[in-house]
Amino acid sequence: MNEEIIPSNFDCVFKRYASAIAALAESAPRPTIQQILAVLTARDAIHAMVLDKNQEATDYLLGISQLDKQLKEQGKLIAKSKELADLRSLLNPPLEAWWWFLDDVPDSFWNRFDWLWSALTIPWLAVNLSLVVDISTRFFVGAPDTAGTFAIVFQSVFTALAAGSALTKPGQDLVDGILSNLKIPKRFWQEAKLGSAILFSLSLLVFRASLGSIAISYNNQGFENFKNGRLDSAKQDFMRALKLNPEYMQATYNLGQVYESSQDIDNALTHYKIAAEAGSSRAYSTIGRLYNLKGDYPSAVLFLIKGKRLIEQPITKSKIDIDIDTRYAIFRNLGWARLKQARYFDAERYLQQAIQLIPDRGTAYCLLAQVLEGQQQQGKALIVWEKCRDYVAKLPPDQVAPEVDTWVGLAEQRLNSQSFQRNRNKFTHEGNAETGSRLPN
């Protein structure tokens, strides 16, 4: 009696796979979804037993390879099935289960350039990385704020993901999975990776171009902090604005104001000079004022004359801040410097120009009174001292600079002096008798 041969489990799975492929071939050109599903699930079973290191699998490797070849040849039949993509989404097979992706029929025209798309992706990723480094470092000023942290993290994660997709196996698997979930045909994956790298580069370039607008926001925020006495916060904001846009003159000037308020005059002058070189007449005026306070009158005149030339340019050619306050400050500070150099004629001329611009502002009168005293015109000086005191008294206390407070104190001394009262009466009497004697405008 012959002993009955019982087929092994692997043998049954192998025969099931072979039978399913044969049925698929016979169903050409229109296989049913059930026939397609039978082939794919049979191949799943083969794969599972191979992964389980089934010893019988080694005896069937050649046969499996031949059946796989037949299956790939039937790929176009499988590609005609519209339901396969839905089944794949439901079962979510791993990417190495290539038989589930046979509806993505390779196109020889496109695939022949895969090496090129892959090669071009690497340099684009290098460009992205350099852009991310450039942009991210601009946000590194002190402790990063919310906006800076978000910008840095978003760019870094995206670039790390893109770089990993090209340089590491886990990164490649992750990106491949994303492309698969997006239902992008596999034959276009290399093109999709290159395209995403290029699009990310363009987005980075657009974001980099918008750094100027972000810098303006930081500058405005810093100015609010500065006005409210939060000097440390203002300093951080202005420094962030300059990191984002190193040529942002207004932020440079404002940072100089922070240093000046902190009594760091050297740093203040450094930033004012940068702003002045960029075309800020206001910065020239402020530099002149600081040099006057330091007693370096030749340097003060040097910078103030440059500022004066700048504001005298036609408006269409001037660069910034030639407003009336800046013009007033330049002429007043020039008058101040010339006063200290005992060049009274020049000092009076500049101070009169300042007064013509803003007649009801006291600081130029305070200096003009000293000029008149230097010219031995005590009576005229007394009347101007009164204007100095009265106009400055209208200012809020926080707007009175230390030197102005000194000048007002000098005005009080002069006005309370008996000799000045006698000079005032004499000057008033002479002014009534002679129409040619007039107070300075």
pLDDT at 292: 95
pLDDT at 81 over 60: yes
- Token duo for residue 435: 């129409």
**Helices (DSSP H) in 107-145: which residue ranges?**
108-111, 114-138
Contact at 8 Å (CB) between 355 and 324? no
What's the pLDDT at 358?
Answer: 93
Q: What is the mean pLDDT of residues 18-29?
A: 83
Torsion of CA 266, 272, 274, 276, to 10 degrees: -140
- pLDDT tops 90 at residue 365: yes
Provide the pLDDT for residue 86.
75
pLDDT score recorded for residue 148? 57
Give pLDDT tens digits for 138-162: 776 655 565 655 555 655 565 555 5
Q: What is the mean pLDDT of the chain?
A: 79
User: How many contiguous H segments (helices) and E segments (strands) does the chain have?
Assistant: 22, 0
Question: Model's pTM, two decimal places?
Answer: 0.62
- The torsion angle over the Cα atoms of residues 47, 53, 54 and 57, rounded to 10 degrees, is 60
- Give the distance from CA 205 to its chain's centroid: 11
Which positions ≥6 away from 363 have C-beta within 8 Å?
332, 388, 392, 404, 407
pLDDT at residue 20 in the model: 85
Cα separation values, 295 from 7, 278, 292, 301, Å: 108, 26, 5, 11
pLDDT at position 149 is: 58
Rounded to an integer, the average pLDDT of 347-366 is 94
Please compute, for residue 215, the number of CA atoms within 13 A of its CA located in the half-sphere on the CB side: 22
Where does 144-263 have alpha helices with state H?
146-167, 169-181, 189-209, 211-227, 231-244, 249-261
The predicted-structure confidence for 200-255, as pLDDT tens digits, reads as follows: 778 778 877 888 888 999 999 999 999 999 999 999 999 999 988 888 999 999 99
**Which pLDDT tens digit goes with each residue over 369-421?**
999 999 999 889 999 999 999 998 888 887 888 889 999 999 999 888 755 55
Rounded CA separation 425/275 (Å) = 49
